[in-house]
Amino acid sequence: MLTLHQYHLSPYNEKVRRMLNFKGIPYIEKFWMLGDRGKVKDFNHTGKLPALEVDGQIIGDSTDIVRYLEQSFPETPLIPQDRQQRALVHILEDWADESLYFYEMHLRFTTPGNRERNMPRMVEKEGWFLRYLLPKVIPGGIAKITATQGIGRKTPEQLLVDVDRHVQAVDDLLGTGNWLIGQTITLADLAVYAMFQALRDADMALAIMQRYPTILPWLARVETTTDEARNTQN
């Protein structure tokens, strides 16, 4: 049995979990609190999650995890065999993981209103002291990370211009089709979905998504497709 180790509210968890569900792979979910990071480092030296435990071995990066799952459970593929489509899946997953991630993190946890709503959700399983402390220190830490990355140095207005461009790009990719690449769901859908569903927790980003006709139906389609595949296996 596989064990998926997770922190709460991570979009990378969402990508991996929906891939497991779609492929109908049995697994156990193990959630860790932020206060347990030292314990997490005992089995994954980076302290990052998700991590997938397979026969006592740890795969500690979401990109490595999904490629392990694709290779080990190829019966319901999420990475196309076509070379160009496979390359596009890689590019879109990397774009989601390395660009969209910083937008969702910054907007969810550092902007007024969104910060006050989402921080309690992130720490709700912690002990009382960390529930008090972490909402005071995490937003500043995230702001430093995103400032170093570049997004945190932009004005709120420019951030929303960027988000609108990203959402429009996904709307253009979908066009009149159901999926980002080809005629079936792929890892690209799961990776971009994971970041967009996190962005929905920021009011201003959700308002942008609502302006484009394909986005919310596509998000619902990813959810339904992966949930139904899991339910079929149960």
pLDDT digits (tens, 9 = 90+) for 91-147: 999 999 999 999 999 999 999 999 999 999 999 989 999 999 999 999 999 999 999
CA distance 228 to 234: 10
Residue 98: DSSP 8-state:
I
Q: What is the mean pLDDT of residues 215-224?
A: 98
First-to-last C-alpha distance (Å) of the chain: 15
**For 77-81, 196-200, 230-234, which range has the lowest pLDDT when averaged over its residues?**
230-234
pLDDT-derived band of residue 25, with 50, 70 and 90 as boundaries?
very high
Average pLDDT along the chain = 95
Whether the pLDDT of residue 234 is over 80: the answer is: no
Distance between CA 187 and CA 93 in Å, rounded? 7
List, in sequence order, every residue forming a beta bridge with 57; answer none if it has no partner.
Answer: 54
76: pLDDT strictly greater than 90: yes
pLDDT at 226 over 90: yes
Average pLDDT over residues 71-85: 97
Three-state DSSP class for 68?
helix
Q: What is the mean pLDDT of residues 164-188?
A: 97
Q: How many CB atoms lie within 10 A of CB 157?
A: 8
Q: How many CB atoms lie within 10 A of CB 233?
A: 12
> By CB neighbour count within 10 A (0-12 exposed, 13-18 middle, 19+ buried), where does 39 fall?
exposed
User: In order of start, what are the domains of the chain with their CATH numbers?
Assistant: 2-72 (3.40.30.10), 83-229 (1.20.1050.10)
Give the predicted TM-score (pTM) of the model: 0.95
Environment class of 178 (CB within 10 Å of its CB; exposed 0-12, middle 13-18, buried 19+): middle
CA 208 from centroid of its chain's CA atoms: 19
Contact 2, 53 (CB under 8 A): yes
143 CB neighbour count, 10 Å cutoff: 19
- For residue 52, what is the enclosing H or E element? strand 51-54
CA distance 124 to 68: 32
Supply the angle between the helices 156-174 and 215-233 in degrees, to the nearest 10: 60
d(CA 129, CA 55) in angstroms, rounded, equals 35
Q: Give the integer Cα–Cα distance in Å for 163 and 54.
A: 37
What local confidence, expressed as pLDDT, does residue 228 receive?
Answer: 79
When pLDDT is averaged across residues 35-41 and rounded to a whole number, the result is 91
Cα separation, 3 vs 145, whole angstroms? 29
